[in-house]
Amino acid sequence: MKENQKELTPSIFRLKETNSTNVYLHELLERGEASEGTLVVADYQTAGKGQVGNKWESDAGKNLLFSIMLEPDFLPANRQFLISQITALSVKKTYDNYIGDVSIKWPNDIYYQEKKICGMLIENELSGMNLNASIIGIGMNVNQEEFRSDAPNPVSLFQITGKEYDREELLKHFLEYFFYYYNSLINGEEEMIRTAYRKALYRGTGYNLYKDKNGQFEAELFDIEPTGHLILKLHDGTKCRYAFKEVSFVH
C-alpha cells in the first residue's frame, strides 16, 4: 500500500430524475454540500449535457448516468488532461469486463469498434494555477435498445450482446478503477497513466485518415502531449499538433 492513498467513500445521491447530474453536482458544490468523491446518479436526465453544447440521449432507467467530484488541488491546470485520462481508462476497463474491442477515441470518447458507447463531460474549476474542483460527468450506454437522436454512431452493451446488464455492477467496477487511478495520480505515477492511455487509444497504430482545416490526409498517431494535444506524424515524418476539435478521424 502506497503512503498517499486517499480513502474515498463516496456520498451518493440517487435520483429518479434531474435536469443533468453535472448541474445537480455543481449546485451541491455551490451550497457547500459536496466533497471529494460525492457522486450523483440519475435514472433519467431531462437536459443531459453532451460536449460542445450537444444534448445527451438516454432512455429512462436504461443507462448509467452519473457525475463524480474530485478536488485535485495538487494538479496544475496545465496537467488537467490527466483527469480525462484516468476517467477514460476507468470506463474502458469497466466495459472490458463485458466486451472486447473497446478503445479510447482521443480525447475522451469511449468506442466499441467504430461506435461510441460512452461520452464524458468534465468541467474543471481552477483556483490560481491549480485545479480546485473537477466535475466528471459520464454517460455509459448500457441497456438502451434504440437511439433516436441524430448522434452519429451510438451503441449500447445491449445492442452488442443482446443481454441486459446490472448498472450498479458497472458503477462498482468503475469506482474501483477510478479510485485506483486517482490514487496513482496522487502518488505521481503519471507515466503509468500516460502509457496505459496511449496503449488504449482508438487507431493507435498504423496510418489512418484524418481531416483538418486543410482537408484529408493520412497520418499515424505519434503521441499525446501532457496538455492533451494530439501529435500526428505524416508519411514524410512531419509532425502536426492539434487541440480538441482541430482535427477529426475520417470514418
Residues lying near ligand BTN in the complex (CB under 6 A) are found at: 20-22, 45, 48-51, 54, 56, 65-67, 109, 119-121, 137-139
- For cell 496513482, the residue is 184
Q: Which set of grid coordinates corresponds to residue 241?
A: 499538433
Q: Which residue of this chain has its Cβ atom nearest to ligand BTN in the complex?
A: 119
From the CB of 140, what's the least distance to ligand BTN, in Å? Answer: 8
From the CB of 208, what's the least distance to ligand BTN, in Å? Answer: 21
Nearer to ligand BTN, 91 or 232 (CB): 91
Nearer to ligand BTN, 72 or 119 (CB): 119
From the CB of 233, what's the least distance to ligand BTN, in Å? Answer: 27
Nearer to ligand BTN, 150 or 236 (CB): 150
From the CB of 20, what's the least distance to ligand BTN, in Å? Answer: 3
Which residue, 249, 241, 152, 153, is CA-closest to 206? 249
Nearer to ligand BTN, 109 or 223 (CB): 109
Residue 200, helix vs strand vs coil: coil
Strand order in the sheet with 12-18: 12-18, 39-45, 64-70, 130-140, 115-127, 109-112, 102-105
Nearer to ligand BTN, 50 or 226 (CB): 50
List Cα–Cα distances, 50 to 15, 36, 119, 156, 177, in angstroms: 19, 23, 8, 17, 23
Nearer to ligand BTN, 117 or 219 (CB): 117
Cα 43 from Cα 16, distance rounded (Å): 5
Label each residue of 36-75 as H, E or C.
Answer: CCCEEEEEEECCCECHHHCECCCCCCCCEEEEEEECCCCC
From the CB of 111, what's the least distance to ligand BTN, in Å? Answer: 11
List Cα–Cα distances, 145 to 59, 119, 159, in angstroms: 9, 17, 6
From the CB of 247, what's the least distance to ligand BTN, in Å? Answer: 17
